Amino acid sequence: MYDANNDKFESCVKELFEEHWFTLLGEEGDVEKVEFLSIELDEDPYIIDVDEEGEKTATIAFNGIVSFLADVSYVDYSNAYYEKEER
């Protein structure tokens, strides 16, 4: 069932990925125009829970590798111009 629905999982991950915002850690800058490229899902999911009586559902978790492009700009202080007196 997992293999048969991989396209649905990939679509959901893409949709959730595009709804989030991104920020730089440890740098002063901006992240803009994030573009989702692809996702590669692991072969087998981790089964977290199975409801065999009620709604007959399962909760699963899986690992994947997401490829994306982003426009990133930041201040590179190590190569920035400065006047000797300002330092």
Q: 27-69 pLDDT, tens per residue?
A: 889 998 889 999 888 878 899 999 998 888 889 898 989 999 9
DSSP state of 26: S
For the question of whether the overall pTM of this predicted structure is more than 0.75, the answer is: no
Predicted local confidence at residue 85, as pLDDT:
66
Predicted local confidence at residue 86, as pLDDT:
57
Instruction: Identify the CA nearest to 22 among candidates 83, 81, 80, 71.
Output: 71
| Percent of the chain residues past pLDDT 70, beyond the cut | 93
The pLDDT of residue 87 is above 60: no
